[in-house]
């Protein structure tokens, strides 16, 4: 189901537009993201799992989905991005695996109860965070 959602979202890869003086989007937890579907937000959490799509897109490669805070089979939120060429998906996994990240964009609901997600086609939407000890 995630693969289908990735392909549907990629059909309309439009960046989230923002005015210069617009306030930043609200920051929400992965568990709260379901209450903000259709809105732009920043979702912060720990990457706990990832999955590489078996299908790629010309010029982009294979998308990778990252679960925040809770892995499959019951993820609460995930984001999707692409690896940089030539590293591909392995580069994206190395960049975010087991790290705290904040991802900003429009929260979309996956059909069939797959959970909310953000399509982060532009990697500048994803910001690794320092671990707090």
Question: Can you tell me the distance from the alpha carbon of 78 to that of 100, in angstroms, rounded to the nearest whole number?
Answer: 13
Domain ranges of the chain: 2-15+24-128
Question: Can you tell me the distance from the alpha carbon of 32 to that of 30, in angstroms, rounded to the nearest whole number?
Answer: 5
Q: Is the pTM of this model over 0.85?
A: no
What is the dihedral angle through the alpha carbons of 126, 122, 5, 75, rounded to the nearest 10 degrees? Answer: -10
**What digits encode the pLDDT tens for the residues 78-98?**
999 998 777 889 999 999 999
**What digits encode the pLDDT tens for the residues 50-82?**
999 988 887 788 999 999 999 988 889 999 999
CATH class for the region spanning 2-15+24-128:
mainly beta
Residue 120 · residue 89 · CB < 8 Å: no
């Amino acid at each position: 189901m995630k693969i289908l959602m990735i392909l549907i979202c990629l059909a309309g890869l439009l960046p989230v537009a923002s005015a210069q003086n617009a306030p930043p989007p609200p920051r929400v937890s992965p568990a709260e993201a379901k209450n903000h579907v259709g809105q732009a937000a920043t979702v912060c959490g720990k990457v706990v799992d990832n999955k590489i799509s078996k299908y790629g897109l010309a010029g982009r490669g294979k998308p990778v989905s990252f679960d925040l805070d809770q892995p499959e089979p019951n993820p609460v939120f995930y984001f999707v991005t692409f690896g940089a060429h030539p590293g591909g998906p392995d580069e994206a996994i190395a960049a975010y695996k087991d790290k705290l990240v904040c991802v900003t964009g429009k929260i979309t609901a996956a059909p069939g109860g797959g959970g909310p997600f953000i399509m982060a086609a532009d990697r500048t939407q994803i910001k690794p965070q320092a671990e707090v000890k």
